[in-house]
Amino acid sequence: MRLRAARRVVPCLLLFVMTLWLPGCGYHSLTSTVVRDSATVKSIWIPVFVNRSYRATLEAFLANSITEQFARRRGEWRIAGEKADYLLSGTIISYDLVPVAYSYRSSQSLETVAEYRATITTEITLRKNGAREILWKRRLTLYQNFPANSDISIQQNSEEAAIQEVCQKLAQGIYVSLSDDF
């Protein structure tokens, strides 16, 4: 009889201890941030970034990824238009595509590219809308590797997918950094 009672009490006790311990260790979920009252929610405008790289459409990919990241999460930031409280602007400084892995065919004495790395460097700033003072600024560089292919259309699709992945990683990094720092 005592064994049965102990079997019921132990899991309840463990659950109770875990509920006390988890908040104390700094654990919090990024996706389930508590929605703040309307007085603390900040509106943000994210226009298309300036693109100083040779690669066209990067600015659209990045702006869409950042907007999607902010819209997807609940919390202290709300997407708004030009009348927003804050302006998140940025510049794509560079886009680099470099080979990072090679394969060697001894029968043909030929070395070919096996993998490329797509790297995007950005500079992001947050200002109070209508003000010149910079409140927050970051320079971020991220990359994604992708396989090389002799078929040019497959190669281009792989590069586009790598660019999309880098833009999503940048957007997530911007959101997390801005939420933590600001």
Using the predicted structure, report yes or no on whether residue 182 has a pLDDT greater than 50: yes
pLDDT, tens digit, 9 for 90 and up, residues 112-121: 899 999 999 9
The per-residue pLDDT for 136 is 92
Q: Which CATH number does the domain housing residue 68 bear?
A: 3.40.50.10610
Which amino acid, one-letter code, is at 171? A
Is the pLDDT higher at 64 or at 13? 64
Compute and round to an integer the Cα radius of gyration of the chain.
Answer: 23
Which amino acid, one-letter code, is at 34? V
The per-residue pLDDT for 24 is 55
Residue 84 included in any domain: yes
Where does residue 93 rank: exposed (0-12), middle (13-18), buried (19+ CB within 10 A)?
middle
CA 126: distance to chain centroid? 16
Is the pLDDT higher at 16 or at 61? 61
Residue 33 included in any domain: no
Structural domains of the chain, count: 1
Contact 73, 103 (CB under 8 A): no
Residue 167 included in any domain: yes
Residue 87 included in any domain: yes
- Determine the structural domain holding residue 62 and report its residue range: 42-181
User: CA 102, CA 72: separation in Å to the nearest integer?
Assistant: 39
Residue 31 included in any domain: no
Residue 94 included in any domain: yes
Tell me which DSSP letter residue 82 carries.
T
Residue 32 included in any domain: no
**What is the pLDDT of the chain when averaged over all its residues?**
82
Contact 118, 168 (CB under 8 A): no
Is the pLDDT higher at 157 or at 4? 157
Using the predicted structure, report yes or no on whether residue 30 has a pLDDT greater than 70: no
pLDDT, tens digit, 9 for 90 and up, residues 99-145: 999 998 766 777 889 999 999 999 999 999 888 899 999 999 999 99
User: CA 106, CA 5: separation in Å to the nearest integer?
Assistant: 72
| Least confidently predicted of 9-13, 55-59, 115-119, 130-134 | 9-13
Residue 174 included in any domain: yes
